[in-house]
Amino acid sequence: MSVPVWSLHLADAREAEDLSAFLARLIHYDRAAAVRLQAGGGALAVFGRPPSFEVLAVRTARLAQPVELDVTVSAGELLESLSSADFAVPGAVTGPPWAGVLPPRGGWQEVPGLPEVGAMRGAVAAAVAEFRDRDEALPAERRTRAERDRIGRDIWSRTVGGTGLPLRAVHAAQSLGFLRPGVPVALLASGAWLRLRTPFGSIALRSGGGLGGLPVTPRG
């Protein structure tokens, strides 16, 4: 068992519930998921990377007391610890490569051209249906992982509206419960990074690519 290294106090039980839901979704995609925690002042930011989407997911929570913390932990252990607004942070783990390089903290500017939420959710639904149709149309000898990956890259690399945001980022936002009907959303840019922001969390990725070869100074 990991030994807790810190205690955090969230502002209220709702913050704990929302953070727990986010962690559960990450674990659904990767049972061995790790998350990087950064606390500064009265806010906690939790970064995760759901497999296959090639994006970073960011969930924030309000803290009852200001604290400074930067550590990478097991998402599963954190979820087990998070039974109330007051919880122990699990012991640190060796973080995956993505955890060493995070989006910039400042310099974000809004990017025009993002469709409204209903249109983006519709685009994700249409893309899922297209993938299934193209997969089912494959002859038996071509129904391979490589061919399915090729179809997926073709579909999910398409950009949204008049922006450079790939559809896979919108898919990730919806899958993680960030992109809900009627909520305000915004697309922001800072340097080489794009960020899809919603009231329930953000999706960040490097413009024009995934998370490899990021020209950003690693933190921590």
**Could you tell me the domains of the chain?**
6-100 (3.10.150.10), 109-206 (no CATH)
Q: Can you give the pTM of this predicted structure?
A: 0.87
pLDDT for residue 217 is more than 70:
no
Angle between helices 117-136 and 167-175 (to 10 degrees): 100
Dump pLDDT digits (tens) for 153-194: 999 999 999 899 999 999 999 999 999 999 999 999 999 999
**Percent of the chain residues past pLDDT 90, beyond the cut:** 80
On whether the CB atoms of residues 157 and 166 are closer than 8 A, the answer is yes
DSSP state of 79: H
DSSP string of 161-176? TTSS-BHHHHHHHHHT
pLDDT for residue 7 is more than 50:
yes
**Percent of the chain residues past pLDDT 70, beyond the cut:** 92
Q: Which residues contact 190 (CB under 8 A, 6 or more apart)?
A: 103, 104, 106, 107, 108, 109
For residue 119, the number of C-alpha atoms closer than 13 Å in the C-beta half-sphere is: 9
* pLDDT attached to residue 208: 56
Angle between helices 167-175 and 145-156 (to 10 degrees): 100
Average pLDDT over residues 121-147: 93
Q: Name the more confident of 216 and 164.
A: 164
pLDDT for residue 125 is more than 80:
yes
Average pLDDT over residues 114-143: 94
Average pLDDT over residues 138-161: 92
Q: Is 73 left (phi over 0), alpha (psi -120 to 50) or beta?
A: beta
Local confidence band at 11 (pLDDT 50, 70, 90 cut-offs): very high
* pLDDT attached to residue 204: 97
- List, in sequence order, every residue forming a beta bridge with 58; answer none if it has no partner: 47, 202
Residue among 173, 168, 160, 77 at smallest CA distance from 116: 160
Give the Å distances, CA to CA, from 159 to 192, 199, 210. Answer: 16, 22, 14
Dump pLDDT digits (tens) for 15-57: 999 999 999 999 999 999 999 999 988 999 999 999 888 999 9
pLDDT for residue 3 is more than 50:
no
